[in-house]
Structure 1
């Protein structure tokens, strides 16, 4: 009888301990699954950022194709932190404009697709040097 009593006590204690053991196992499983959820979420976010950037770039490219503008920036030359020269083509005519932080100035107009920007600038230099020579000769 002593043996059966010990057996019943053992079974009762085991039955009482099973929920605690299961809770400890469930807690370990839940901690492990929580860590995996965090890792998977982090991987998703890291993959999501480049995917969004790619989509934005693709949509901008599509908008540029659909909204073809009559104004094209042919060349930009930076002159300082906030100053630049821009060669802009509008309706078949090229315009040289100066852009600063406070103003935009039209400097010169050129026929479209005639010459390169560098050759146009050389021509302007020659014209200005000829004007300077003429002014100097006229002053003498």
Structure 2
């Protein structure tokens, strides 16, 4: 009887660390599985977007705050600047598809000399 009790105690000592390692291994698997699954979902969404021949293309997005964005969207060869918030979407301006880029328009807008600066150069 005493031998059976000692044998039973030894088997419990062996199974306790085994069950702890089993739990730790399961948790590590779950912790690794969640980011891997999210990464795969993101890759499949990108692949699906590339394969779809949508007429609507988001050219550029500029964040203005936590919920506000400026979006440059191209639809049927026309580009539209949209103001997007959590409550609404507003059309701000339309551009033709062969229009200059925003950076070149800003450079041209800042480069013309004002009349006061041309008068100073003449003096």
TM value normalised by structure 2: 0.72
Partner residue of 1:134?
Answer: none
Aligned length: 110
Query: In 1, Cα distance between the equivalents of 2:39 and 2:85?
Result: 32
Partner residue of 1:77?
Answer: 62
Highest Rg: 1 or 2?
A: 1
Secondary structure of 2:48's counterpart equals helix
Secondary structure of 2:22's counterpart equals helix
Q: Which of the two has greater helix per residue?
A: 1
Gaps of 5+ in 2: 111-123
Secondary structure of 1:85's counterpart equals strand
Partner residue of 2:16?
Answer: 31
Partner residue of 2:25?
Answer: 40
- Deviation of residue 84 (structure 1)? 3.4
CA-based RMSD? 2.4
- Deviation of residue 21 (structure 1)? 0.8
Gaps of 5+ in 1: 1-15, 127-140
1:103 matches 2:103: no
Partner residue of 1:50?
Answer: 35
Partner residue of 2:117?
Answer: none
CA offsets 1:78-134 (integer angstroms, 9 cap, x no match): 4455443322111111112233443323232211143112334677x79xxxxxxxx
